[in-house]
Amino acid sequence: KCMTLPSQQASIAWTFHAHNATLDVVFFGTFISPSGWVGWGINPTSAEMTGTRALIAFQDPNSGQIVLLPYILDPSVKLQRNPLLSRPLDIHLLSSSATLYGGRMATVHSGATIQIYATLKLVPNKTRIHHVWNRGLYVQGYSPTIHPTTINDLSSAATVDVLSGSAAAGHSNIKTLKVVHGVINAVSWGILLPIGAVTARYLRHIQALGPAWFYAHAGTQLFAFFLGTVGFAIGIRLGELSPGRVYGLHRKLGFAAFCLGSLQTLALLFRPKTTNKFRKYWKSYHHFVGYACVVLGVVNVFQGFEVMGESRSYAKLGYCLSLSTLIGVCIALEVNAWVIFCRKAKEEK
């Protein structure tokens, strides 16, 4: 059986011998630099880097030949506390080798294809394996250095049933959750919340509307926060389903925006009357926290596009057009407000 893997233009082929539970595997990967490395391995517990028993191929610094060495990716590797050193694997690896595609005349260069062969003894009646693959730019001596951290490189893990040839459904579920998470948060934090702020800033001065502007503002913001809470909860769940991947900035911005949104919602319960002497302090707090929440929400939407690898997608283009339209409306309303203010000032003189 063979399978194209979801990242790094990699693929894998295998033959499973059910009578003795052995697995013959060949992994096809590509180098991204002449001094780089390509690796493939199995994680006994989950589809993530930490805990993977890996076979990593690179050019021997002394002989110039391709070498394939075993490595165990324990938690210290992720933290980069110590160099990654080769050591025997604690799985039943019967044989392994690596060759460059193109025969003996082939050389290591960016884009060069390598084939990693391995024969493994699996646990009887256990045909699902978690496998991980990746590639890096440099090898220091015989220690591969950290791989790039783009979304493409952080998604190089999968679970497959070697008997049926089917990939685990979990990855498609995670992808669906990511899309739902992105859409909900883009609409709530990135569109509705700014619209609510615009409603309060520009409609409150229209006397003909009366208190309608307030109900429109509060309703929009509460609905946006409700949607945003759903999106935030989905994000937390995605983090639980992807223990090996941490998007630090996106996560921190998300927590900050959610906390500010929660404070804004709670502030409604403590809103002083217009005659109260603390009203002006409450308004200052409400404006500052509100605008900060809007800015963080919009920034994090763009950060989310980067995390999902959609920085040049039509989805981002659509969001940019929507946000640009809203900004254009704000500019027009701001100019109109200043024109009215200047006219009133002249009339009073």
CATH of the domain at 261: 1.20.120.1770
Do residues 81 and 179 share a domain?
no
Among 152, 168, 184, the domain-final residue is 168
Do residues 176 and 295 share a domain?
yes
**pLDDT at residue 47, rounded to an integer:** 80
Helix, strand, coil tally for the chain in percent (to 5): 45, 20, 30
What pairing do the DSSP bridges indicate for beta strands 22-30 and 11-17? antiparallel
**pLDDT at residue 346, rounded to an integer:** 79
Do residues 156 and 29 share a domain?
yes
CA distances from 245 to 180, 183, 241, 242, 250 (A): 19, 21, 9, 6, 12
**pLDDT at residue 209, rounded to an integer:** 83
**pLDDT at residue 172, rounded to an integer:** 54
pTM above 0.85, yes or no: no
Residue identified by tokens 């920034």 is 299
What amino acid is encoded at 134 in this protein?
N
Binding residues: 181, 217, 250, 286
Do residues 29 and 43 share a domain?
yes
State which residues form the domain around 185. Answer: 171-348
Among 168, 194, 224, the domain-final residue is 168
Do residues 107 and 193 share a domain?
no
Distance CA 117, CA 97 (A): 5
Do residues 123 and 183 share a domain?
no
Among 112, 147, 168, the domain-final residue is 168
Binding residues for heme b: 181, 217, 250, 286
The CATH number covering residue 43 comes to 2.60.40
CA distances from 152 to 133, 157, 201, 214 (A): 11, 10, 42, 45
Distance CA 26, CA 13 (A): 5
DSSP-assigned letters across all residues of 194-213: HHHHHHHHHHTT-GGGTTHH
Flag residues of the chain having pLDDT under 50: 169
CA distances from 288 to 190, 256, 282, 291, 305 (A): 18, 14, 10, 5, 26
**pLDDT at residue 298, rounded to an integer:** 95
Number of domains within the chain = 2
**pLDDT at residue 166, rounded to an integer:** 72
Distance CA 102, CA 260 (A): 58
Distance CA 106, CA 126 (A): 38
CA distances from 348 to 208, 334, 335, 343 (A): 22, 21, 20, 9
Left (φ > 0), alpha (ψ -120 to 50) or beta: where does 264 sit?
A: alpha
